[in-house]
Structure 1
Amino acid sequence: MTSLTLPPRPPGSPPLAHAWQTLADGLLTQRLHLHLDEWRTVVAEGKALPDVPSADVSLLARRPSPLPEDDDTALMLLEGAGLGFWWELPQRYGSDARDPCGFLAHAADAAARSILAGRSKSAWSDAVTAVSGAAAWWVGFFAAIRHRGVHHVTLEPRPGPFHEQALGTAVSVVAHGMAMRVLEAALHTSDDDPAVRAAYCRAVEAGICMEPELPRLVDELAELRLVDLVSTTARWRGRFTKYAGGTGAGQVE
């Protein structure tokens, strides 16, 4: 049998995980645009979702709070972390909900508060708050069309029902993962700010505590797009399993 020898990577190449993250971000954006009209129809109808009837669709589609108008530095930090799309698309497509703060927004706010520990009035804290709020919208987007998706393992259509509490947990996981990306970018650009380092350590600690529960959460969420969102955002050993294993992504779409 002929063995395959891969050419050496060029000097200075970024870690392979960076390429996988770029792939995951691209797939996420692609899926949003592929299913945007479908999502708009579900939101406009406002009917109870068959797989999570207790969830208010208008809250799943709620636009997160914008960045402060004078905070260009926070936006630059988001762009530097590769998360401009993560914040901008919810601002563009999100809707105004009757309740200004639903259960997903509460989960996002709680995640941001646990990381910031009272720190505010800085570009990096505004950016952490922004990506956490956006996490609620992204989870809500794919939750709203979950009943039209497929199981992430079997690819069988219409995954079974689940409890809305799983969505709150998913928001917390995603918010912490995205906050870590913001804080990593901030650490590269700050003058060794101890507050940034402390926030990053809190995010890492929270991620370690969450990891044992992630397989169960993935099983409960079940649907391919929602599972990919959570599993490629959290910092855990299963983060890029589908890419490391050489399996395709987006094959169902």
Structure 2
Amino acid sequence: MDDQELLRYSRHILLDDIGIEGVDVLINSHVLIIGAGGLGSACAPYLAASGVGAITLIDDDEVDLTNLQRQITYSSENIGQHKVDAAKTFLEKLNPLIKVTAFAQRADEAFLMERIAEIDVVIDCTDNFKTRQLINKVCVTTRKPLVFGAALQFDGQFSVFDSRLEHSPCYACLFSPEESFEEVKCSQMGVFSPLVGIIGSIQAANALQLLIGFGNSMVGKLGMWDAKRSDFSHIKISRNPSCSVCHPTKN
């Protein structure tokens, strides 16, 4: 670590739970962020600023005027650009010491399986049930820790699913792929702009905790933020012995 890095990351180095060793871990880490919308545009800058050495972004969407109410990585100048390309430019200006790779495409199974081996933590910043199930399946198969977040209207959710741990549930334990869930989107239901910033920042914090290895994990808990009540709460979630994803041989 050179003098520039020591100064840039000095406020983390001062923290006993992080220190030089923790910052060095971040510099040599690789995070995959799937989704560059409200959650992704809040999560990614904190990871970049913290010195996560490699960040891969994937999203096929383009910046739209309606995004600018909450997706603070983008500006009016970015309208019509692929979100991942605009985010890459933003993040590399924020921290020129890191490498950002952008893929303007959907995260299908072939893409994820091809690149997942080099990833340390996967962060799900998507907004649809089908993609979340796919991401979870790949993370369970490859035993990669998954940081989950969701936000709609005034309500947010977050958790960590870590298939490296025997006691950890997976996303499918909580939301079974066999059940039908009505897809709801911000474009139809609306979303409180600071909510995505809060949940995305929590996802960044959870990812940093996983990478460095400090604090209390969200594994086995589903966190919830009610923005109307300014209230954080959580419920315990357990591994489902009948889960078709993390217990397939038992069905």
Range of TM-score over shorter length? under 0.3
Greater percentage in helix? 1
TM-score, length-normalised on structure 2? 0.27
Greater percentage in strand? 2
TM-score, length-normalised on structure 1? 0.27
